[in-house]
């Protein structure tokens, strides 16, 4: 990597923005199935996609068009940078005079009918005409589009992997236009079990995990009361075997005191619901307009400026779509317990500052703010991570490196032990062979640079479905029990 790599990265982003503003027009698709909901469909297909790629379903709010929503959210810019597809369902006035998706109408929100089926057929069209990663299909929306995001997650949990609901409300908070306004404000209160039952009724035989959820909601929303965020948390923690107790709180996310991130885990300590509470924001999404990699969108109908917080970016990050590392961190990936003076570095760029984080219990002895740090380790491994801010204030995407501490004495190679792990390309999963899942405390997939590709806590079955599809290459699988860490290498061709 050359010395000026970071400057080149930013210049490339700026050039990409300039060249693609005209090209980021969404394209109508006129035939995509029987379309029982009579919706319009638009697609965005970035140049340069190779192999299977993720798909995002992005749904507008009332009075909006798909084109307005695309421009305000900035999804197309992220699709260009990180290579995924976007489709934009669009409501028509014949269905709803306010151009709202009918999230409250039972003829549109159940599996296999109406607008929900039309959107599912749009996904089918993309699968037929492009190479879509079936394990990486996501839904998001604002207002009525957020209501429809709940619908797609509930009606098609076998298709939608995760959702990002912005100023939205739970699935079937209303089943009639006469109760819709009450559901929006002040909101409907139910128990977690009652909310969960409404979703489970859509797919009675469904036994796989339900989609994970990110919620973005303003504290001063006069249209969809923030009480709905609490009810969403109840619904989706219930579905994914969690409770309603916050497991992690960040009161100043990305240094912005207006943004509080609350994370809720399942019974195995895996995060399942993220709640970004945005102080002072009304009925809108937050965008951080600008040309930097973490910026985008435009202010408009439902989009307001928020410093250092672009909700579309963080939704994409929640969907595991932000996969482009600006460079590789150099440094050891296996160290002994209590190792001292371990050096980690990235290419240096004049004028840049670097913000590093290290695993719990570790200490940055020197170098914070520079391109190279010296670290003293304790007993725990984890991510060494750095975010670079270049001259002009652009913050690049983070580079990450997984470091294991003290595993050398307890590593057993799986092929020499009693168990093994196999990769199943068909359903993008890892099978545990002759390994008791009850004894598994965590499982990780790493590429050969030591970067984490996938990570999970305790495994509840012999099958671990990966959150995103693995591309061809060599990977290390690390499986941790109470007292050992097993390692196996796999090759995907």
The answer, yes or no, to whether the previous bond of 275 is cis (omega within 30 of 0) is: no
Paired strand residues for 421: 432
- What CA–CA distance (Å, rounded) separates 74 from 321? 14
- What CA–CA distance (Å, rounded) separates 191 from 231? 8
Provide the 3-class DSSP secondary structure of residue 439.
helix
DSSP state of 8: H
Q: What share of the chain is helix, strand, coil (3-state, %, to 5)?
A: 25, 30, 45
- What CA–CA distance (Å, rounded) separates 270 from 441? 11
- What CA–CA distance (Å, rounded) separates 259 from 248? 14
CB 429 within 8 A of CB 459: no
Whole-angstrom distance between the N-terminal and C-terminal Cα of the chain?
A: 26
Q: In what order do the strands lie in the sheet with 372-376?
A: 342-345, 372-376, 363-366
CB 213 within 8 A of CB 165: yes
- What CA–CA distance (Å, rounded) separates 471 from 456? 19
CB 390 within 8 A of CB 10: yes
Looking at 6, 118, 143, 352, which residue is catalytic?
A: 143
CB-count burial class (<10 Å; 0-12, 13-18, 19+) for 203 = middle
- What CA–CA distance (Å, rounded) separates 390 from 13? 13
Paired strand residues for 488: 477
CB-count burial class (<10 Å; 0-12, 13-18, 19+) for 92 = exposed
Closest CA to 455 of 326, 269, 331: 269
- The residues, any chain, with a CB within 8 Å of residue 187's CB and separated by 6 or more, are 169, 173, 225, 227, 228, 231
Show the tokens assigned to 408: 């050398």
Query: Any catalytic annotation for residue 143?
Result: yes
Q: Which residues are catalytic?
A: 143
């Amino acid at each position: 990597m050359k010395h000026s790599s970071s400057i080149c990265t930013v210049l490339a982003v700026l050039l990409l923005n300039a060249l693609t503003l005209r090209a980021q027009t969404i394209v109508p698709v006129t035939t995509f199935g029987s379309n029982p909901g009579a919706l319009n469909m638009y697609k965005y297909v970035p140049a340069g996609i190779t192999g299977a790629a993720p798909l995002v379903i992005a749904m507008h709010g009332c009075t909006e068009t798909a084109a307005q929503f695309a421009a305000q959210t900035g999804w197309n810019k992220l699709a260009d940078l990180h290579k995924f597809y976007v489709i934009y369902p669009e409501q028509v006035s014949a269905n709803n005079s306010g151009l709202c998706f009918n999230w409250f109408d039972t003829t549109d929100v159940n599996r296999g009918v109406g607008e929900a089926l039309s959107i599912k057929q749009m996904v089918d069209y993309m699968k037929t005409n492009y190479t879509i990663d079936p394990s990486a299909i996501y839904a998001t929306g604002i207002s009525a589009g957020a209501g429809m995001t709940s619908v797609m997650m509930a009606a098609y949990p076998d298709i939608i992997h995760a959702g990002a609901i912005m100023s939205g409300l739970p699935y079937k908070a209303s089943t009639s236009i006469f109760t819709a306004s009450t559901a929006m404000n002040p909101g409907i209160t139910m128990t977690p079990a009652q909310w969960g039952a409404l979703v489970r009724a859509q797919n009675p035989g469904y036994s796989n995990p339900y989609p994970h959820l990110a919620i973005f909601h303003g504290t001063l929303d006069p249209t969809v009361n923030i009480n709905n965020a609490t009810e969403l948390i109840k619904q989706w923690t219930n579905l994914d075997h969690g409770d309603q107790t916050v497991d992690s709180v960040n009161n100043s996310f990305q240094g912005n005191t207006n943004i509080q991130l609350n994370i809720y885990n399942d019974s195995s300590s895996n995060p399942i619901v993220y709640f970004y509470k945005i102080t002072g924001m009304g009925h809108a999404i937050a965008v951080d307009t600008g040309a930097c990699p973490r910026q985008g969108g435009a202010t408009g109908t439902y989009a307001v400026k928020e410093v250092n917080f672009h909700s579309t970016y963080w939704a994409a990050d929640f969907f595991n779509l932000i996969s482009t590392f600006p460079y590789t961190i150099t440094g050891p990936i296996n160290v002994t317990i209590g190792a001292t003076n371990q050096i980690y570095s990235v290419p240096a760029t004049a004028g840049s500052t670097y913000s590093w984080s290290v695993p719990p219990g570790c200490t940055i002895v020197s170098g914070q703010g520079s391109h190279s740090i010296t670290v003293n380790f304790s007993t725990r491994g984890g991510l060494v991570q750095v975010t670079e801010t270049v001259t002009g204030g652009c913050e690049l995407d983070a580079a990450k490196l997984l470091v294991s501490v003290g595993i050398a004495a307890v590593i057993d190679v799986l092929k020499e032990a009693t168990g093994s792990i196999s990769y199943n390309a068909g359903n993008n999963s890892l099978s545990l062979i002759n390994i008791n899942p009850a004894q598994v405390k965590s499982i990780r997939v790493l590429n050969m640079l030591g970067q984490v590709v996938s990570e999970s806590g305790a495994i509840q079955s012999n099958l671990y479905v990966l959150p995103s599809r693995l591309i061809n290459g060599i990977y290390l699988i690390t499986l941790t029990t109470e007292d050992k860490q097993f390692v196996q290498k796999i090759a995907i061709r």
